[in-house]
Amino acid sequence: MLIMSGDSLVTARAFRELEKFSGISKRYSFQFYTDREIRNNKVKGDQIKECSIILADFMNRGIGDFLAANLKGKKPKVYSLRCAYLADKLKKEGIKLDIQTEQFYSPATLENIKNLLLMVLSKEGEKLSYAKPFILPESGIFHPDASKIFSSFDEYLKWYKKSGKYNRRGFWTGIHTFSSSAIKERGKVEAHIIRSLEKEGINALPVFGRPPYHKSLKKYFLDENKNPRVQVICGFSFRFLRGFEKETKSILQQINAPVFMPLLAHAITIDQWRMSDRGISAIRTAWQVCVPEQNGGIEPSMVGGKTAYSLKGMTDVVFDTAPMPEYTDFLIRRIKAWHRLQALPDKEKKIAILYWNHPPGKQNVGASYLNIFKSIPNILGAMKKEGYTIKGALPLKEEIEKMILIGGRNVASYAPGELDKLIAKGSVIRIPIVRYKKWFAKLNHEFQEKVVRQWGRPDDFTIMTKNNEIIIPVVELGNIILLPQPTRAFGEDAAKLYHDPKICPHHQYIAFYLWLKKEFAADAIISLGKHGTHEWLPGKQIGLSLSCSPDILIQDIPNIYPYIVDNVGEGIQAKRRGRGVIIDHLIPPLEKGGSYMEYRKLTALIDEYHNALEMDASLAGAKLARVQKLIQKLGLDRDLQIKRVDDDAVEKVEHYILELQEKLMPCGLHVFGVSPGGKPLCDLAAAICFMSPEIKEDQMKTALKECGKKEMESLLRALDGGYIPAGEGNDPVRNPAAVPTGRNFYGFNIDKVPSKEAFALGKKMADEMIKDYMKKHAAYPDKIGIILWSTELQRNEGASIGAILNLLGITPVWDKKDKVIDLAPIPGRVLGRPRIDVIAQTSGLFRDSYAQVVRLIDRAVRMAGALKDVENFVAIHNKKIKQALLEKGCKEKDAQDLSQARVFGPMPGAYSHALQELIPNSGVWEDEKEIADVFIHHYSFAYGEKLWGKPLKSAYKKNLEDVKLTMHTRSSNLYYMLDNDDMFAFLGGLSLAVKSQKGEYPDVLVANLQDGKNVKLDDLAKSVGKALRTRYLNPKWIEGMKKEGYAGARQMDKFVEYLWGFQVTTPFAVDKTHWEQIYDVYIKDKYSLELKKFFDKNNPWALQSIAARMLEADRKKYWNAPEDMKKNLARAYALNVIEKGVACCEHTCNNPMLQQFVTNIISLYGLLTPQQLERFKMVIAKATGMTQEESEAKHKSLRDSLTKTIEDIRKEESADVQTGKKKIEGFEMAEEKQEDTKMTASGSEWMVMAIALGFLALLLMGWIKKQIC
């Protein structure tokens, strides 16, 4: 028998039963093999060829493929246990399958398997009787303590009451599972959940069904009047709940219950899962998590898994499925919390609304493209109407803003004076360290040890602490409170930021979440906007343990998460690791950038030049000189790489200006619960319909108008513990199905990556990259570095993966359902060029969400490297890297394996934000060499089929030496080059790392895939220039942001920060003209937009931050600012600090060298009176709690201490880096430890020994007997 490993124990018991039949064991030899044995190459073809009778479970495709490969020319009798229709390859070999046996294997009980074997033997002429198979009905209600299956709810309820299990005050939890789980010997996990629920006074309604599952959902979870019978659903079967989308959605909306996703450790044992960094495997994620999410499933929660038993005399371990009691308890606590939202009157509910202020700074409270200061009053108003208790009159937007900026923001430890002001003026929460220590001591011990190792004991902790108390900023509004999620404090300890890929939450962060539960008694959290940091804390990737930071801190508090619809990738992280229930919200209105000011002037000058050509050559020459001067002043020559301004260059500029005019830009921000109207509505509808002309604009306007109402309705329904329907996400311009918003979005199916369309787009991308490079360098780019993001894959279905495969000359193999099932080489004669080598730089999120794709890329690289039909850069580089590893001391086999690693990312369980935090914190680091070292240290962990998260700095550096080109895609019509810090951190960081190893920068390209059909490659300088000209220097964009008040000013500051990121990592892409134009627009207000007045009224610290950033660019010699600009910047910065107080962000309060630089400029040129200068120094000193001299001394001490840290992070791994399978990793590639002959979870030792001895006796019967396999 060839079976799934989960069926091995019951099969062993069935074999033992056959001993009771006289003579059978003398004439037949019995053996079974598991899918796990086949996968680990423990079963040889000869073992199968000797079998005359084979029974196989084709639900696992690998079993069918294995048989097809080893039965060529053989004609044994083959019986199907399940899914004969999947055995395509076997049928092609001419082998017919007997499917009569399938009825005995569903369910695979001891009696059924025994009778199955007896039936097969009777067909061989044995005079044996066998019973009919036990067959379960299509659906029914079961209970582990009941002796029958119930066909109706009334029948079950009658028994349930009689049994004494019914609690008339208790609510009902529906468990929807598979038919096999209704059998006591198979449904141990469900049985444990049922009994645990009942111990808590919760009624259980356990239901099983068969596809289509929506029928049993409707039959048992809704009564005859379509009223729900259950208040919560635990959906085991939702992993296969596909098809019938409309019907399923309707049923779930009628039930209106949260649907939990219980997870099982399938491919590894529970013990292996506990030790693993990964959690559940990529393959299991695809169906245990992705599919349920498409039906609105929430909170993936571990509840059980395989336990392995090593039975002496057997060829393999056998497995059983066992519950995980402590995880079931945790799940039930969360079930009760969601039901509490259903049962508790709104007026009694306590809700914490979290917003983001990280890193700290007065200018930096907000979320991605969401105006939180407008959204919060809107949410509060809706809650007030529902009866939530809000103290006093509803606060207006301005009042909310004032309360948060005075008493509801984070303060870094480098600004103790600011903390004193916060405590004096705000309504902070004070948690005595003594009380916190008691809370902390009750947390998971492993977690405690990690926290103390990194942050020290609570008594010694200094972040947001005062007088032996931990300070929590809060705005109290009755039963509703507003709080900034604590900062992760990456900038508080530079050594950690440089050295530690995983940084645990600090004590104030921990205290914050514990206080929410233990003292405020929060019934729910609203995490307002993209995005917080809780879901990015260290821990397993998917399928978290109770020692993982996110689950420890969230406890049992429901987390409701409004999230921008155009960031599905990061939103999925919030769903899977932060237990977030997504309420997706609309993007801001988009409109075309149009032409403005200098660009209109330039267009007019070019027209004049063209006219002059026909009249007067000398006049034309003068006009061309003016055109050239303006082109150079605007920096267009750098964008377009124009060396000489001639007619061809002028034509290029004309096309470029037209392109800029057509680019979409956001016009302001979104307000949660508010639909666009008027011109913004028309503009956004037009943009969507332009990309999707099959949709009528009136139809799209209707959908967009529904967004605000649906967002608020869904938020309130979630606060009532209701069901939030799932829906597609993504950029609505690319995917109109993403509107209306207000849904719990889900991601693209990972089994289909890359999609056929994405592979075709990837081919265009690969061809264009090669063509572009060859045009510039007259040679092939022998290695290309490509950035992999989950968010981008969600938008373009894997176009970057398609590009990687095309470069390598490898194609995916898709099945009939468009799932990627294999890879195949593209023949050299078809490829028509060398195989181009790649290095794939993955984010931590991509690694988690698309581990299966990571392994696919690794397979493709290894496949390509072995081919010899055309010139092969993969093979050439493999040889070079292997030689370097051998010289380092690696063994031959290990060097061979490791030399082929091409996928690199952060440490398993880590989500490195090192460059995003370090580069803005510019007072800490000295030069870009340190930045490159930090990037390499954090991102040089190798991933693939044979290794997962292997520290491999040596091979990574060797890979970087040959990179000729780096590339990142951009598929969103909203997010551009300067809209977040990840663009410079990844594309800039990788490019800088390449430069650090080879001495020069690679070509750096951005692939524009906004329309989803075409590829347009731009070099980085042009991409940055486009972003600046289309948006941030455009008066139309500025006016749109001005309407957003504080939040709009924050957006202005943010783009300057992100430009600084590219300035540091890729200085060739940022020109002096960029800084000069920012100065002209924002400091000098050349468009007369009254910007100083705007900043002073709404967010003066944003302007202060912009000025400080520009001064820092000059101080660190990235920009040689003209003298007048430098003086005006220094004066504007100092006066802003004097008049408005210091922002106390990382590059102001934490940067004494900048303060001295500014002081020197002011003193040298007499820009302020002596009294003003002293006032400036005093404001800084009061905020930092130190004089300038003390701050500089502290900075010197920091730099001295970092010397050793930098030396440490430059060290490579030891030579002992063999690729042997990681001890703690199981999954498809790992072997489970053979344990002693002992049941670890259930059963008894004597029974296992009896089975083992019985089976051993069977094996010793000799090989001359007829074999049944």
* pLDDT at 301 exceeding the cut of 50: yes
* pLDDT at 1257 exceeding the cut of 80: no
Q: How many residues does the chain have?
A: 1269
Compute the distance between CA of residue 884 and CA of residue 958 in angstroms, rounded to an integer. Answer: 8
Compute the distance between CA of residue 733 and CA of residue 971 in angstroms, rounded to an integer. Answer: 10
- Position 302: which residue type? M
* pLDDT at 23 exceeding the cut of 60: yes
Compute the distance between CA of residue 173 and CA of residue 184 in angstroms, rounded to an integer. Answer: 20
Task: State residue 239's pLDDT score.
Answer: 87
Tally Cβ neighbours within 10 Å of residue 1008. Answer: 16
Candidates 3.40.50, 3.30.43, 1.10.287, 3.30.420; correct CATH number of 2-135+1243-1268? 3.40.50
Task: State residue 1234's pLDDT score.
Answer: 33
Task: State residue 1263's pLDDT score.
Answer: 37
Cα dist from 294 to 233, 729, 757, 894, whole Å: 15, 11, 22, 42
Summarised one tens digit per residue, pLDDT across range 482-496 is: 999 999 998 889 999
Domain boundaries, the chain: 2-135+1243-1268, 140-340, 347-557, 594-662, 749-972+979-1014
What average pLDDT does range 1160-1176 have in this prediction? Answer: 97
Q: Is 2-135+1243-1268's fold the same as 140-340's?
A: yes
Task: State residue 313's pLDDT score.
Answer: 52
CA 90 to chain centre: 39
CA 185 to chain centre: 37
Compute the distance between CA of residue 1117 and CA of residue 1133 in angstroms, rounded to an integer. Answer: 19
The per-residue pLDDT of the chain, averaged, comes to 92
Of 184 and 166, the structure prediction assigns the larger pLDDT to: 166
Closest CA to 1035 of 1117, 986, 1091: 1091
Confidence grade of residue 1218 (pLDDT, cut at 50, 70, 90): low
Task: State residue 1229's pLDDT score.
Answer: 30
**Residue 979, Cβ density class (10 Å: 0-12 exposed, 13-18 middle, ≥19 buried):** buried
* pLDDT at 1250 exceeding the cut of 60: no
Task: State residue 787's pLDDT score.
Answer: 98
* pLDDT at 1261 exceeding the cut of 50: no
Confidence grade of residue 1217 (pLDDT, cut at 50, 70, 90): low
- In this structure, what token pair is assigned to residue 184? 């006591």
Tally Cβ neighbours within 10 Å of residue 422. Answer: 21
Strand 429-432 relative to strand 469-472, pairing? antiparallel
Confidence grade of residue 1160 (pLDDT, cut at 50, 70, 90): very high
Task: State residue 240's pLDDT score.
Answer: 85
- In this structure, what token pair is assigned to residue 938? 């954090």
**3-state SS, residue 731:** coil
What average pLDDT does range 39-44 have in this prediction? Answer: 86
Which phi and psi (to 5°) does residue 728 adopt? -70, 145
Compute the distance between CA of residue 1140 and CA of residue 1134 in angstroms, rounded to an integer. Answer: 10
Compute the distance between CA of residue 678 and CA of residue 863 in angstroms, rounded to an integer. Answer: 56
Confidence grade of residue 95 (pLDDT, cut at 50, 70, 90): confident
Task: State residue 1163's pLDDT score.
Answer: 97
**Residue 1235, Cβ density class (10 Å: 0-12 exposed, 13-18 middle, ≥19 buried):** middle
* pLDDT at 748 exceeding the cut of 90: no
* pLDDT at 310 exceeding the cut of 60: yes
Candidates 3.90.320, 2.40.10, 3.40.50, 3.30.420; correct CATH number of 140-340? 3.40.50
Task: State residue 1222's pLDDT score.
Answer: 41
**Residue 441, Cβ density class (10 Å: 0-12 exposed, 13-18 middle, ≥19 buried):** exposed
Closest CA to 394 of 377, 408, 411: 377
Strand 941-943 relative to strand 903-905, pairing? antiparallel
pTM: 0.93
What average pLDDT does range 334-363 have in this prediction? Answer: 97
Tally Cβ neighbours within 10 Å of residue 232. Answer: 25
What average pLDDT does range 1105-1122 have in this prediction? Answer: 98
Give the helix ranges, DSSP H, for 838-923: 844-849, 851-865, 873-888, 892-898, 914-918
Of 435 and 29, the structure prediction assigns the larger pLDDT to: 435
Compute the distance between CA of residue 784 and CA of residue 767 in angstroms, rounded to an integer. Answer: 12
* pLDDT at 13 exceeding the cut of 50: yes
Cα dist from 15 to 180, 315, 579, 990, whole Å: 20, 14, 44, 58
Closest CA to 995 of 1057, 926, 924, 1068: 1068
Q: Apex CA 255: angle with CA 249 and CA 257, to 5°?
A: 95
Least-confidence region, from 75-84, 825-834, 1070-1079, 1257-1266: 1257-1266
Of 195 and 89, the structure prediction assigns the larger pLDDT to: 195
* pLDDT at 282 exceeding the cut of 90: no
Confidence grade of residue 1254 (pLDDT, cut at 50, 70, 90): very low
What average pLDDT does range 1112-1132 have in this prediction? Answer: 98
Residues sharing a CB contact under 8 Å with residue 1164, sequence separation 6 or more, in sequence order: none
